[in-house]
Copies of this chain bind each other. A is one copy, B any other.
Amino acid sequence: MSAPTYGRVALIGLGLIASSMYWAIKRNGALAGEVTGYARSEATRATARRIGLCDRVCDSVAEAVQGADLVVLCVPVGAMGAVAEEIAPLLKPGATVTDVGSVKRDVIQSVGPHIPEGVFFIPGHPLAGTEHSGPESGFAELFDNRWCLLVPVEGTPDDPVARLRALWEGMGAHVDLMDPDHHDLVLAVTSHTPHLIAYTMVGVADDLRRVTDSEVIKYSAAGFRDFTRIAASDPTMWRDVFLTNKDATLEILGRFTEELFALQRAIRTGDGDHLHAYFTRTRAIRRGIIQAGQDTDAPDFGRGKVAKT
């Protein structure tokens, strides 16, 4: 039997991504010799122990990173810097530190300065998730056929990048390398702005006095419920995303409101041709996503086949 990709992997923060990583690593069998885990909350650690999450749950971050060949920061983006500072003196020479944050420029700025000489820092971001959070929300298939973007800092040798790539591919993901600023812009388009918009729409519905919450809930199947799934995502994670990817998000929001005003004007003036042309164009992107295997073509996401209550 050949050696695993990493002898010891430490997962810091035990939410949806870390727990899915653990189950995906276990599914494969050849990726890690041992996986340690740490969460700041005692309740989370207790849950992790109860459900068998991680080979060893540690009560201190120092114990978890001790001797680790790979340390994965799985905490909200705003907490990354403090964790990095805490673990920096404990890192083994030749180890790799990576993260799974949704923003990359900010993580590089807050984590990078703490990484000691002889340790590799390779920021990463798996583009996968669900609306659920916490240690019990993970599952081994989360990364299957999803993309993980790696954003190595300048001067990182090829070998540790190839090793981290092998880990992600071993967990089912495809891997691309990307520049941090471009990452933050792409994600502002494909994730951050859509989330903000969904949160806003759900907030508006909740606020409206002339339409009751119960009506909003009963009649949500006409489109709104898809927004509520996105707007049920973890509030702390998303607060940090917007605070740390401010510039790109504000830029895309500006484009969004510009387009929205144009469509609003077409509605006001009764310009049906403009609306029809716009609505036709957007169908093509959906076809591309299905052809790329990034979503199901089953009607309504195949919801009907999952749970018919």
Contacts and interface: CB of A to CB of B under 8 A. Distances in A.
Nearest to A237: B279
A208 interface: yes
A144 B139 CA distance: 30
Given A194-B201, A200-B256, A228-B282, A215 B186 contact: yes
A305 interface: yes
Copies in the complex: 2
A163 interface: no
Nearest to A291: B217
B211 A299 contact: no
A304 B141 CA distance: 8
B304 A303 contact: no
Contacts of A228: 282, 285-286, 289, 295
A259 interface: yes
Interface residues of A, number: 120
A293 to B, nearest CB: 4
Given A189-B211, A282-B203, A242 B260 contact: no
A230 B137 CA distance: 26
A145 B308 CA distance: 8
A299 B226 CA distance: 12
Interface in A189-222: 189-208, 210-211, 213-222
A250 interface: yes
User: Max chain B CB contacts within 10 Å: which of A127, A187, A204, A235?
Assistant: A204
A252 interface: yes
A259 B204 contact: yes
A192 B264 CA distance: 12
A299 B230 CA distance: 11
A88 interface: no
Interface in A107-141: 127-132, 137, 139, 141
Contacts of A223: 190-192, 194-195, 198, 230
B141 A219 contact: no
Contacts of A240: 272
Interface in A168-198: 176, 182, 185-187, 189-198
A190 to B, nearest CB: 4
**9 closest cross-chain pairs (CB), A and B:** A302-B306, A130-B299, A191-B222, A235-B279, A232-B286, A293-B309, A296-B307, A190-B224, A231-B282
Given A203-B281, A306-B306, 10 more contacts: A128-B222, A130-B300, A190-B219, A194-B223, A203-B278, A206-B284, A235-B280, A243-B275, A250-B267, A302-B306
